[in-house]
């Protein structure tokens, strides 16, 4: 029998991007919170600028619970699923430790894809087989929470629309904001200036994207030093606004948050009335039961879904909160692949700089352009950014100009190491019938529990956006002077992704959604779900800020409605 611990008000499973933010409004309101985290604490001494360790070796200092339960992947149900890698890590702060830290608000269109498409182009333009729904609320309802998170964690950027006032230096397509960003954008670089000038010649609207990275002294943290080891690396001066250095320490300071490290939650426990009573977890070989009035699930999308599917009980024989069969449905991996790679005649000066230091184009994203004569809806955010490292440079494409080893290859990489760039293109991705997460019938994690199985593929709408956005990206690179361009494939199976959405989708209709408009289960009143697993559309940009705004909102809702939720 697991050792029963004293009861707490709220248990949060996972102290990452979502749980790390949710803890702050709860503890500020005086609720006692226990955060259970599979990883441990890392400090800036662990964040060496070491490409091999961070990139190729996947940062061994982080506890790779996630790696031990990596999902299996197949494009459709006729195939056998194969296990690959897991894109996330485990630590206090989760993947906000080593992410690129791009911190976008979604475009207002992303909240109402169905109705906006129907109104502008006709209902028949919703892609066949898509299960997409409008969100249960619009951008305006999330706006105050975006703002709270931007200030609480610290986001740098250039606003393009403050209270309706358009500023062409920022994103002119963004939804209306109530305030400027708390910090100015990260600095430009010779390469971002090259790309900005090219975009302006094309009459596009380039702007510097928002980042959870300090551009100036903020909240006691120094500004970014631009040394360039953000990607799969932590920040040596804490300029990256990871929850481990922002909201989590603040929540601990209230005296109301205890973080339990190196603990694996194995089961969400339910009583005979269908309410959750707490969680079982393993720490080393010891088993514990942590009782709580409310459980908030804040692992990554795959683990949120898997834990629900594994937590079977008399009240929920097919998995917790799954009596309507919606857990694992409406899954999507963000289409962020299909990059375009360019070769320039001159050095780009990209040995220093970071992935979030870049220039964005939103002219071809969301519904920012007329789709009347196109065969898809949505679009892509084009991102040209700095970030070059020696091993990555040596493994670059040779654009058909050299073989891939020997003297001619060596000469090629010597001449071109700092002359190539790979664009990051994030595309609108929709949920479809036949794309889902379930438990793999064969592959198990080291504890003997089945891993998640991803059955999903991109469909025509996504591959058409990919082709369209590659055209635009190529045009942009060529305008900037690129002499060679490589386009990669348009997309097939949806592999395990750093941007995984759905599986516990949010919506008013309990027949098609797992959680309600506040993030609480339709079936289990005291169970909340945080993370991109509640999101029904991806937008054309990184999800983290939206995940954090939703988490803050769910926490405030819990504080305001404690009695009715706890019952």
Partner 1 sequence: MASSKKNHKADSFPKDGPVDTSRRNLIKGAGMVGVAALGTSAENIIAQESSKERNINTMISREALEVLTADEAETLEAICGCLIPSDENGPGAFEARAAHYIDKSLASHNKSARDYYMVSLDAINQYSKKTRGNAFHRLIDDHQFSILSAVQEDKVPGCSPNGSDFFNIVRNHTIDGTFCDPYYGGNQNFVGWDMLNYPGIRLSASETDVAQGPDLTPNHQSAYDHDTYTKMVINGSMNQRGGQSDA
Q: Under the rule (CB under 8 A), what is the footprint of partner 1?
A: 44-45, 48-53, 56-57, 60, 187, 189-190, 225-228, 236, 347-349, 351-353, 390-391, 393-395, 403-411, 413-414, 417-418
What CA–CA distances, in Å, run from 274 to 9, 268, 286, 314, 521?
A: 18, 12, 27, 9, 11
Residue 488, number of CB atoms within 10 A of its CB: 14
Q: How far is the CB of 93 from partner 1 (least distance, A)?
A: 19
- Between 262 and 412, name the residue whose CB sits nearer to partner 1: 412
CB of 419 to partner 1, least distance (A): 10
Q: What is the DSSP letter of 54?
A: I
Nearer to partner 1 by Cβ, of 3 and 410: the residue is 410
Any idea which residue has 């809702």 for tokens?
557
Q: Pairing state of beta strands 72-74 and 450-455?
A: parallel
Please tell me the total number of residues recorded for the chain in this structure.
567
User: 35 or 185, CB closer to partner 1?
Assistant: 185
417 or 535: CB nearest partner 1:
417
CB of 364 to partner 1, least distance (A): 29
| Encoded tokens for 194 | 């090259």
Per-residue HEC secondary structure of 198-226 comes to: HHHHCCCCCEECCECECCCCECCECCCCC
Closest to partner 1 by CB, 226 vs 449, is 226
Structure token pair of residue 340:
């375009």
DSSP letter assigned to residue 357 = S
Residue 251 CB, nearest approach to partner 1 (Å): 27
Pairing of strands 286-297, 527-529: parallel
Q: Using the minimum distance from each CB to partner 1, give the nearer residue, 65 or 419.
A: 419
Nearer to partner 1, 195 or 515 (CB): 195
Instruction: Indicate the residue among 393 and 493 with the shorter CB distance to partner 1.
Output: 393
545 close to 149: Cβ distance less than 8 angstroms = yes
Q: How far is the CB of 409 from partner 1 (least distance, A)?
A: 7
Report, in Å, the least distance between residue 113 CB and partner 1: 40
Q: Least Å distance between CB 209 and partner 1?
A: 18
CB of 404 to partner 1, least distance (A): 7
Residue owning tokens 């790696």: 67
Minimum CB separation of residue 418 from partner 1 in Å reads 7
Which CB sits closer to partner 1, 421 or 513?
A: 421
Per residue, what are the HEC states of 468-536? Answer: HHHHHHHHHHHHCCCCEEEECCCCCECCCCCCEECCCCECCCCCCCCECCCCEECCCCCEEECCHHHCC
Compare residues 55 and 144 and give the one whose CB is closer to partner 1: 55
Long-range contacts of the stretch 115-118 (C-beta < 8 A, 24+): 116/367, 117/367, 117/377
Tell me how far, at minimum, the Cβ of 64 lies from partner 1, in Å. Answer: 12
Residue with Cβ nearer partner 1 (22 or 97): 97
CB 84 to partner 1: min, Å: 15
- Contacts from 365-370 at CB under 8 Å and sequence distance 24+? 365/107, 365/173, 365/428, 365/540, 365/541, 366/107, 366/109, 366/110, 366/173, 366/428, 366/539, 366/540, 367/107, 367/109, 367/116, 367/117, 367/120, 368/107, 368/109, 368/173
**110 in Cβ contact with 542 (< 8 Å):** no
């Amino acid at each position: 029998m697991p050792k029963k611990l004293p009861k707490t008000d709220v248990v949060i499973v996972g102290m990452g991007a979502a749980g790390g933010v949710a803890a702050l409004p709860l503890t500020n309101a005086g609720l006692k919170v226990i955060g259970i985290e599979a990883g441990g604490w890392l400090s800036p001494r662990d964040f060496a600028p070491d490409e091999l360790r961070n990139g190729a070796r996947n940062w061994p200092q982080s506890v790779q619970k996630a790696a031990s339960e990596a999902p299996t992947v197949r494009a459709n149900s006729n195939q056998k699923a194969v296990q690959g890698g897991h894109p996330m890590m485990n630590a206090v702060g989760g993947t906000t430790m080593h992410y690129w830290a791009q911190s976008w608000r979604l475009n207002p269109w992303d909240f109402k894809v169905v109705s906006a498409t129907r109104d502008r182009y006709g209902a028949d333009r919703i892609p066949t087989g898509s299960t997409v729904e409008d969100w249960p609320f619009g951008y305006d309802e999330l706006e105050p929470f975006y703002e709270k998170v931007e200030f609480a964690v610290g986001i740098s950027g250039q606003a393009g629309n403050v209270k309706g006032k358009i500023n062409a230096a920022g994103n002119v397509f963004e939804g209306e904001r109530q305030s400027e960003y708390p910090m100015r954008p990260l600095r430009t670089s010779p390469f971002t200036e090259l790309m900005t000038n090219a975009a302006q010649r094309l009459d596009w609207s380039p702007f510097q994207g928002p980042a959870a990275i300090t551009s100036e002294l903020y909240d006691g943290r120094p500004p970014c030093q631009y040394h360039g080891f953000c990607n799969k690396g932590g920040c040596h001066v804490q300029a990256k606004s990871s929850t481990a250095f922002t909201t989590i320490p603040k929540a601990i300071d209230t005296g109301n948050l205890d973080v339990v490290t190196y603990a694996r939650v194995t089961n969400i426990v339910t009583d005979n009335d269908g309410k959750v009573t707490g969680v079982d977890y393993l720490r080393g070989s010891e088993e514990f039961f942590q009782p709580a009035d409310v459980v908030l699930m804040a692992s990554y999308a795959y683990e949120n879904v898997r834990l629900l599917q594994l937590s079977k009980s008399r009240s929920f024989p097919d998995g917790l909160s799954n009596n309507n069969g919606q857990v694992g449905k409406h899954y999507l991996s963000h289409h962020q692949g299909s990059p375009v790679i360019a070769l320039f005649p001159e050095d780009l000066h990209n040995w220093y700089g970071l992935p979030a230091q870049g220039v964005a184009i939103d002219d071809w994203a969301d519904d920012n352009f007329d789709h009347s004569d196109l065969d898809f809806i949505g679009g892509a955010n084009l991102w040209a950014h700095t970030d070059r490292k020696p091993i990555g440079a040596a493994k670059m494409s040779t654009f058909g100009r050299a073989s891939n080893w020997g003297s001619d290859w060596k000469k090629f990489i010597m001449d071109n190491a700092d002359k190539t760039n790979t664009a990051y293109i994030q595309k609108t991705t929709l949920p479809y019938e036949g794309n889902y997460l379930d438990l793999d019938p064969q592959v198990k994690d080291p504890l003997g529990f089945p891993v998640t199985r991803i059955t999903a593929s991109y469909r025509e709408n996504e591959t058409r956006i990919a082709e369209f956005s590659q055209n635009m990206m190529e045009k942009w690179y060529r305008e900037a002077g690129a002499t060679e361009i490589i386009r990669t494939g348009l997309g097939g199976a949806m592999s395990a992704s750093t941007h995984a959405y759905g599986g516990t989708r949010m919506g008013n209709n309990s027949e098609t959604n797992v959680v309600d408009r506040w993030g609480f289960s339709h079936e289990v009143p005291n169970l909340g779900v945080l993370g991109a697993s509640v999101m029904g559309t991806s937008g054309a940009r990184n999800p983290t800020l939206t995940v954090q705004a939703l988490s803050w909102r769910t926490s405030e809702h819990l504080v305001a409605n404690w009695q009715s939720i706890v019952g």
